[in-house]
Amino acid sequence: MRQRKAKLEGYVQSLAAMDELIDFGAMAAAVDRACPRPDRSKGGRPPYATELLVRMVFLQGLYNLSDEQCERQVLDRLSFQRFCRVDGALHIPDARTLWSFGSHGGQRR
C-alpha cells in the first residue's frame, strides 16, 4: 500500500511541477489568437475554456491517451481534474469536443 501511495504521489507531483513550468494561460491565448472560435453572443452553448482544452490535449500527449480515454481519465482521476482545474465541475469536454479541438479536427492545426 505504501508503494502504491508513493507512486501515485509521484504522478501528482509531476503534474503540479508541469503546471508551474508551463504557462497554459499564455498557450491558450496564443491558440485563441491563431484560431479564433465562432462568436456565441447570439446563442448556443458557450464553448469550453481554451485553457481547459489545451490542458486536456497536453495530458493526452503526456500519457498517450485517445480522446475517449482522456475524457474518462479526467472524469475519474482527481489529479487530472486538479491539473485541468475542473474540481467538482459537472461539465467536462467529451471525446468529440477534444477531437474537434485537437489536430484531428482540422480546424486547429
Positive or negative CA dihedral for 37, 38, 40, 44?
negative
Parent domain of 76:
2-37+48-105
Instruction: Please indicate, yes or no, if residue 6 is contained in any of the structural domains.
Output: yes
Residue 94 is assigned to a structural domain of this protein: yes
pLDDT digits (tens, 9 = 90+) for 36-46: 877 777 777 78
Is residue 62 in some structural domain?
Answer: yes
In a domain, 75, yes or no: yes
- With a cut of 70, say whether residue 12 has pLDDT above it: yes
What pLDDT does 98 receive? 93
DSSP string, 34-96: HSPPPP-TTSSPPPPPHHHHHHHHHHHHHHT--HHHHHHHHHH-HHHHHHHT-TT-S----HH
Tell me what the mean pLDDT of segment 64-85 comes to.
Answer: 93
Residue 42 lies in a domain: no
What total of structural domains would you count in the chain? 1
Average confidence score pLDDT of the chain: 85
Distance between CA 109 and CA 101 in Å, rounded? 9
For residue 72, count CB atoms less than 10 angstroms from its CB and return exposed for 0-12, middle for 13-18, buried for 19 or more.
middle
pLDDT bucket at 103, cuts 50 / 70 / 90 = low
